[in-house]
Structure formats: C-alpha cells, structure tokens
C-alpha cells in the first residue's frame, strides 16, 4: 500500500487547522471553563463577601416557651352518662412566636410533633367511674407508641415584616379516672407554604391533671404507710420526675413544681 501524501483525502487537498476540528473546539472551551472556575475560586478566597449566597429563609423562630397555662374545654362522663362540659380544665401551653423578615406573607401549613417519649409520672392514688376527653390541640391516642409523629394542620398567616404567635395544648385523647400525670418529650417542626421548615429545641411538656391527688397519696404512703401506694414507688417516681425536669432547656413549669413537691415528700434532693 502506498503511503498517503499530506493533504490527500481531505477536501481541498489541505489538512484543517486544529481549532476547526470538533475536538479542538471542545479542548479550548474546556480549558476556558477551567480557567474561569479557578479565577472565581481565587476571588472568593480573597474576597469572601463576593461569594453568592443562597436566599435567606423568610421565616425564623423568634421565641419558644412553655411558661403559659390556659383553661380548655373538656367533655366527661360518669358511669357512661354525659355531664356538662367543663370549661376550666387546666393545660400547659407550648407557645411559638415566628418572625417574617420578607416582603411577602407566609402561610403556615402543618405542625409535626415528633414525640420521643410518653411517661406516666406518679404512683396510684385511687380511681372512679369518670372518663374525660379534653379538647387538646394535639390529642395523643390510646396505645400511642413513641417514637412517632403526630401532625396537625395550622393555617396561620405570618404577615410581611411581622410576627405571629401560636400556641398548642397537648394531652391524652381519653383520660379515665385514676390516670396519672403525663410527660411528653418532643420537638415541633412548622412548615410554611414557601418551603420553610422550622424545628424547635427539645420540649418536655406536662399534662398537669391529678397532680394534687398523686401528691396526697404519696404523702400518706411515706408519712403514715397508708393508701394505695408505697414509699418505694414514691421514691422511684420522684427520681424520674427529677431527671425529666432537668433533661432539657424547655421544661414545663408544672413539671418543675411537681418534681420539687414529690421529691420533698420522698425525702430526696
């Protein structure tokens, strides 16, 4: 076979310049992109303020506290007979204040309560024939097994450059006579229609019902050896109350007071 001469087999009889070849164009463009990327990286290293930043979220958590209490409505029955609704059923309140720093209003859509634990806190004190169904915002159903999440719709509008405070009560869906005070440990994530998702710190929240009856039975057991419970149970529950009261930054004041009173009865710190 005869060797091909220069330019042979190419239209016009001449080899095309490198930059007119497809692989030449690709090589040059790739080199330019690499140089530009390297220059931008140097600029951002020398002048951090020049680096583009992602858009800031419109909503932010302003204040979260559990320092409030309110009376809610509770329906109840005795021996299956409906009774007039109670309007002074005491409940702790989780209060969340939101701030909107944007020029647009934001609508909250959902609140997810990621419940880590549910703790019955106290010793038996007696029972009766009544059943209470209080109208909590977040009702924890019978048989609920943590960790799990309960979700509630929260159609609250946060105005542009404004604030909005919302509150939640949490408690058992059904509360029979003889039920013990209940402590819920959870976080809350609020979702907005702009894609915002804001999560609170860990909250230790208490349903304060029946604390007086529990404390009275505990005192009788420790001081007189009488009643439906024992000093051993009182000491164990006092220890649990003390641990829960010191387990987070956001702790219901009712739990702190209950823990203090129960530990005083038990002879603890």
Report how far residue 183's alpha carbon sits from residue 162's, in angstroms, rounded to the nearest whole number.
33
Q: Structural domain of residue 241, as residue ranges?
A: 59-266
Distances (CA, A) of 91 to 136, 138, 250: 8, 12, 16
Is 5 within a domain?
Answer: no
Can you tell me which residue has the tokens 């076979």?
A: 1
Query: How many residues are there in the chain?
Result: 269
* Cβ-based neighbours of 161, under 8 Å, separated by 6 or more: 100, 101, 102, 103
Number of neighbours of residue 258 by Cβ within 10 angstroms: 25
The answer to the question of residue 2 being in a domain is: no
Residue 190: strand pairing partners? 111, 198
CB 163 within 8 A of CB 204: no
Phi and psi for 108 in degrees, rounded to 5? -70, 145
Residue-level pLDDT, tens digit, the chain, 269 residues? 444 444 444 445 555 554 455 554 445 445 555 565 565 556 556 555 555 555 566 889 999 999 777 888 889 888 888 888 888 888 889 999 999 999 999 999 999 999 999 999 999 998 777 889 999 999 999 999 999 999 999 989 999 999 999 999 999 999 888 899 999 999 999 999 988 899 999 999 998 889 999 999 999 999 999 999 999 999 999 999 999 999 999 999 999 999 999 999 999 76
User: Is there a cis peptide before residue 121, judged by omega within 30 degrees of 0?
Assistant: no
**Number of domains within the chain:** 1
């Amino acid at each position: 076979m005869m060797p091909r001469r220069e330019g042979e087999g190419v239209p016009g009889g001449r080899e095309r310049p490198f930059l007119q070849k497809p692989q030449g164009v690709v090589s040059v463009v790739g080199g330019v992109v690499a140089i530009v990327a390297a220059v931008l990286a140097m600029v951002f290293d020398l002048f951090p303020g020049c680096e583009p930043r992602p858009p800031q979220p419109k909503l932010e958590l302003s204040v979260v506290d559990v320092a409030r209490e309110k009376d809610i409505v509770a329906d109840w029955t005795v021996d299956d007979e409906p009774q007039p609704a109670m309007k002074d059923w005491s409940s702790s309140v989780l209060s969340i204040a939101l701030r909107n720093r944007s020029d647009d209003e934001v609508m909250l859509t959902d609140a997810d309560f990621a419940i880590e634990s549910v703790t019955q806190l106290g010793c038996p004190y007696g029972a009766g024939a009544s059943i209470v169904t209080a109208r909590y915002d977040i009702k924890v159903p019978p048989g609920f097994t943590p960790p799990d999440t309960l979700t509630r719709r929260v159609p609250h509008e946060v105005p542009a450059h404004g604030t909005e405070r919302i509150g939640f009560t949490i408690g058992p869906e059904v509360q029979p006579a003889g039920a013990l005070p209940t402590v819920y440990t959870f976080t809350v994530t609020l979702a907005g229609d702009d894609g915002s998702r804001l999560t609170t710190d860990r909250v230790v929240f208490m349903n304060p019902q029946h604390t007086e009856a529990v404390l009275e039975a505990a005192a009788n057991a420790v001081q007189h050896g009488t009643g439906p419970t024992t000093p051993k149970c009182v000491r164990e529950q006092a220890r649990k109350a003390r641990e829960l009261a010191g387990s987070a930054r956001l702790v219901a004041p009712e739990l702190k007071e209950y823990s203090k009173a129960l530990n005083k009865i038990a002879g603890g710190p």
